[in-house]
Amino acid sequence: MRPYTDLVAEAEQADVTGWDFSWLRDRATEERTPWGYAGQLAQRLAHAHSALDLDTGGGEIIAGAPELPAHMTVTEAWAPNLARAAQTLTPRGVNVVHCSTENLPFADATFDLVTSRHPVRPAWAQIARVLRPGGTYFAQHVGPASAFELIEHFLGPLPREGHVRDPRRESDDATNAGLQVVDLRTARCRMEFHDVGAVVWILRRCVWWVPGFTVARYEPHLRALDETMRGGEPFVAHSTRTLIEARRPTRTA
């Protein structure tokens, strides 16, 4: 394994825009969810007429779909990701919109499919508003206490009670917004980090995990991880994921 300083310097200089995690190849692994979100999403997009993907990041998940609807729109709030999404998706005729999910600039009942992989925060009232009657929200959310083993290595023990990512609470919020939840599944997936550079990169990418993270500030924590991984033992954490499908009821006479 290369020296600590080399691994850290490389990770500090690496690009962290978008939702492309290929930089972690051979450095870290994450178990896949049993439902295969990307495959299910691609099937749904192929049969939709008008679709909206929220918090699209760099557009990677939509770019991976072989067939897109005639009217495909994505939203992204962070400017660096927005530029990447536009570069990736505009050539395929996708409308890339700069906005947050709390105030979607679309007319009521515009889309028959709304999707999102790992949204910042699902704005259920807005989702219900822009869905057509009979339309579907299909998404994979981050679940409660995701990657807490890694986060707590830096921040210490964190509370689990009342976590905002609780799937039952999200289901209740969707119902209160007028949607019918037809599928709700959860998964806990093993993550392994094999060098300290992978940890630095992921904490730069997921800035909400350890707010204010810098290598200098957390060098003792990073050195401890580096020592363990140099002994051949990966650092193990677990991501949590929620698959949710909700429909806007069809209007009745």
pLDDT tens digit sequence for 223-232: 999 999 999 9
Higher pLDDT, 206 or 163: 206
SS3 142: strand
Quick one: pLDDT at residue 158?
87
- From the list 1, 6, 2, 8, the residue with the least C-alpha distance to 198 is 8
Q: Residue 253 pLDDT more than 50?
A: no
Per-residue pLDDT at 163 = 62
Q: Which residues on adjacent β-strands are paired with residue 53?
A: 74, 115
Reading the block at residue 32, the tokens are 């896949």
pLDDT, position 145: 92
Determine the average pLDDT of the residues in 122-143: 97
pLDDT of the residue at 223: 98
Residue 19's pLDDT is 85
Instruction: Give the model confidence (pLDDT) of 75-107 as tens digits.
Output: 999 999 999 999 999 999 999 999 999 999 999
The whole-number average pLDDT for the span 36-42 is 97
| Alpha helices for the chain (secondary structure H) | 4-13, 37-47, 60-63, 79-89, 124-130, 148-155, 167-176, 196-205, 219-230
pLDDT confidence tier of residue 251, bands split at 50, 70 and 90 = confident
Q: What whole-number distance in Å separates Cα of residue 131 and Cα of residue 138? A: 11
**Contact in structure between 238 and 189 (CB atoms under 8 Å):** yes
Helix (H) or strand (E) holding 112: strand 111-117
Pick the CATH number of 4-247 from 3.40.50.880, 3.40.50.2000, 3.40.50.150, 2.40.10.220: 3.40.50.150
User: Where exactly are the structural domains of the chain?
Assistant: 4-247
252 pLDDT higher than 70: no
Can you give the pLDDT at residue 161? 58
Q: Is the pLDDT of residue 164 over 90?
A: no
Q: What is the mean pLDDT of residues 128-157?
A: 96
Share of the chain above pLDDT 70, in %: 97
The backbone torsions φ and ψ at residue 229, rounded to the nearest 5 degrees and listed phi first, read: -70, -30
pLDDT value at 108 more than 50:
yes
Distance CA 171, CA 29 (A): 29
Under the banding of pLDDT at 50, 70 and 90, the label for residue 212 is very high
Residue 148 has pLDDT above 70, yes or no: yes
175: nearest Cα among 246, 234, 116: 246
pTM: 0.92
